[in-house]
Amino acid sequence: MRKIFILLLLVNLLFSEEIGELTFSNDYKKVMAQAKKENKRVYMLITSSSCRWCRKFESTTLTDWTVAEKLEGKYLLLHIDRDNDYFPKHLKHKRVPRHYFLTPDEQVIYTFLGYWNVEDFTSYVDDVDWQYSDKLKKGIIK
Protein backbone atom coordinates (compact mmCIF):
# COMPACT_ATOMS: atom_id res chain seq x y z
CA MET A 1 0.00 0.00 0.00
CA ARG A 2 2.82 2.37 0.90
CA LYS A 3 4.56 1.69 -2.43
CA ILE A 4 1.35 2.49 -4.33
CA PHE A 5 1.00 5.78 -2.45
CA ILE A 6 4.59 6.77 -3.25
CA LEU A 7 4.11 5.81 -6.90
CA LEU A 8 0.93 7.91 -7.16
CA LEU A 9 2.71 10.84 -5.54
CA LEU A 10 5.58 10.62 -8.03
CA VAL A 11 3.19 10.42 -11.01
CA ASN A 12 1.36 13.51 -9.74
CA LEU A 13 4.66 15.39 -9.43
CA LEU A 14 5.62 14.44 -12.99
CA PHE A 15 2.42 15.86 -14.46
CA SER A 16 2.10 19.02 -12.41
CA GLU A 17 4.15 21.96 -11.31
CA GLU A 18 3.64 24.58 -8.69
CA ILE A 19 4.03 28.25 -9.50
CA GLY A 20 3.53 30.43 -6.47
CA GLU A 21 0.37 29.18 -4.80
CA LEU A 22 -1.03 27.70 -8.03
CA THR A 23 -0.63 24.10 -9.20
CA PHE A 24 -0.60 23.56 -12.94
CA SER A 25 -0.83 20.34 -14.92
CA ASN A 26 0.96 19.84 -18.23
CA ASP A 27 -1.33 17.04 -19.45
CA TYR A 28 -3.74 18.63 -21.95
CA LYS A 29 -5.94 15.56 -22.44
CA LYS A 30 -6.25 14.87 -18.73
CA VAL A 31 -7.16 18.47 -17.88
CA MET A 32 -9.74 18.70 -20.66
CA ALA A 33 -11.33 15.42 -19.55
CA GLN A 34 -11.45 16.77 -15.99
CA ALA A 35 -12.95 20.05 -17.26
CA LYS A 36 -15.76 18.17 -18.98
CA LYS A 37 -16.38 16.02 -15.93
CA GLU A 38 -16.46 19.01 -13.53
CA ASN A 39 -17.90 21.49 -16.07
CA LYS A 40 -15.05 23.93 -15.42
CA ARG A 41 -13.23 26.33 -17.67
CA VAL A 42 -9.50 26.00 -18.34
CA TYR A 43 -6.70 28.57 -18.22
CA MET A 44 -3.88 27.33 -20.45
CA LEU A 45 -0.49 29.05 -20.45
CA ILE A 46 1.84 28.12 -23.31
CA THR A 47 5.50 28.89 -22.72
CA SER A 48 8.92 27.88 -23.97
CA SER A 49 12.03 27.05 -21.97
CA SER A 50 14.00 29.70 -23.87
CA CYS A 51 11.52 32.55 -23.29
CA ARG A 52 12.61 35.15 -20.75
CA TRP A 53 9.18 36.84 -20.76
CA CYS A 54 7.62 33.49 -19.85
CA ARG A 55 9.96 33.15 -16.86
CA LYS A 56 9.19 36.73 -15.81
CA PHE A 57 5.43 36.11 -16.02
CA GLU A 58 5.79 32.91 -13.99
CA SER A 59 8.02 34.45 -11.33
CA THR A 60 6.12 37.70 -10.87
CA THR A 61 2.51 37.68 -12.02
CA LEU A 62 1.67 34.05 -11.33
CA THR A 63 3.14 34.20 -7.83
CA ASP A 64 0.87 37.04 -6.74
CA TRP A 65 -2.01 36.08 -4.42
CA THR A 66 -4.55 38.24 -6.29
CA VAL A 67 -3.90 36.27 -9.47
CA ALA A 68 -4.22 33.00 -7.56
CA GLU A 69 -7.50 34.24 -6.12
CA LYS A 70 -8.83 35.11 -9.60
CA LEU A 71 -7.87 31.77 -11.17
CA GLU A 72 -8.31 29.24 -8.38
CA GLY A 73 -11.63 27.48 -8.18
CA LYS A 74 -12.95 29.00 -11.39
CA TYR A 75 -10.41 27.43 -13.76
CA LEU A 76 -8.42 24.27 -14.13
CA LEU A 77 -4.81 25.27 -14.72
CA LEU A 78 -2.73 23.98 -17.60
CA HIS A 79 0.90 24.95 -18.32
CA ILE A 80 2.18 23.74 -21.67
CA ASP A 81 5.75 23.86 -22.97
CA ARG A 82 5.25 24.42 -26.71
CA ASP A 83 8.37 22.41 -27.52
CA ASN A 84 7.71 19.35 -25.34
CA ASP A 85 4.06 18.96 -24.34
CA TYR A 86 1.04 17.84 -26.35
CA PHE A 87 -1.76 20.23 -27.24
CA PRO A 88 -3.90 20.63 -30.38
CA LYS A 89 -2.19 22.22 -33.36
CA HIS A 90 -5.10 24.60 -34.02
CA LEU A 91 -4.20 26.56 -30.89
CA LYS A 92 -1.61 29.09 -32.01
CA HIS A 93 1.63 28.92 -30.13
CA LYS A 94 4.46 30.35 -32.21
CA ARG A 95 4.91 33.37 -29.94
CA VAL A 96 4.90 32.95 -26.18
CA PRO A 97 3.78 33.41 -23.52
CA ARG A 98 0.34 32.69 -24.98
CA HIS A 99 -2.73 32.64 -22.74
CA TYR A 100 -5.88 30.68 -23.55
CA PHE A 101 -9.15 30.51 -21.67
CA LEU A 102 -11.14 27.50 -22.83
CA THR A 103 -14.59 26.02 -22.23
CA PRO A 104 -14.89 22.39 -21.09
CA ASP A 105 -15.63 21.60 -24.77
CA GLU A 106 -12.28 23.13 -25.83
CA GLN A 107 -13.81 26.25 -27.37
CA VAL A 108 -11.68 29.38 -27.04
CA ILE A 109 -13.33 31.98 -24.85
CA TYR A 110 -10.47 34.46 -25.03
CA THR A 111 -6.79 34.44 -25.91
CA PHE A 112 -3.97 36.95 -25.68
CA LEU A 113 -0.21 37.09 -25.99
CA GLY A 114 2.63 38.31 -23.83
CA TYR A 115 3.89 39.17 -20.41
CA TRP A 116 1.39 41.03 -18.23
CA ASN A 117 1.85 42.49 -14.78
CA VAL A 118 -0.56 41.57 -11.99
CA GLU A 119 -2.93 44.50 -12.49
CA ASP A 120 -3.22 44.01 -16.25
CA PHE A 121 -3.49 40.22 -16.06
CA THR A 122 -6.28 40.33 -13.46
CA SER A 123 -8.06 42.85 -15.67
CA TYR A 124 -7.81 40.37 -18.56
CA VAL A 125 -9.27 37.64 -16.35
CA ASP A 126 -12.21 39.93 -15.57
CA ASP A 127 -12.62 40.50 -19.34
CA VAL A 128 -12.66 36.73 -19.85
CA ASP A 129 -15.50 36.40 -17.35
CA TRP A 130 -17.45 39.06 -19.24
CA GLN A 131 -16.64 37.48 -22.64
CA TYR A 132 -17.74 34.06 -21.37
CA SER A 133 -21.09 35.38 -20.12
CA ASP A 134 -21.65 37.37 -23.31
CA LYS A 135 -20.77 34.47 -25.64
CA LEU A 136 -23.00 32.11 -23.64
CA LYS A 137 -25.88 34.56 -23.85
CA LYS A 138 -25.43 34.96 -27.62
CA GLY A 139 -25.08 31.22 -28.17
CA ILE A 140 -21.57 31.53 -29.58
CA ILE A 141 -20.26 28.99 -27.10
CA LYS A 142 -21.95 26.29 -25.04
What local confidence, expressed as pLDDT, does residue 116 receive? 96
The pTM is what?
0.83
Q: How far is the CA of 61 from the CAs of 6, 35, 58, 64, 82, in angstroms? A: 32, 24, 6, 6, 20
131 closest CA partner among 117, 114, 110: 110
pLDDT given for residue 5 in this prediction: 36
Domain presence at residue 8: no
> Residue 102 is part of which domain span?
37-138
Give the pLDDT score at 18: 55
Is there a domain that residue 129 lies in?
A: yes
How many domains is the chain built from? 1
Residues of the chain with pLDDT under 70: 1-21
Residue 123 lies in a domain: yes
What is the pLDDT of the chain when averaged over all its residues?
86
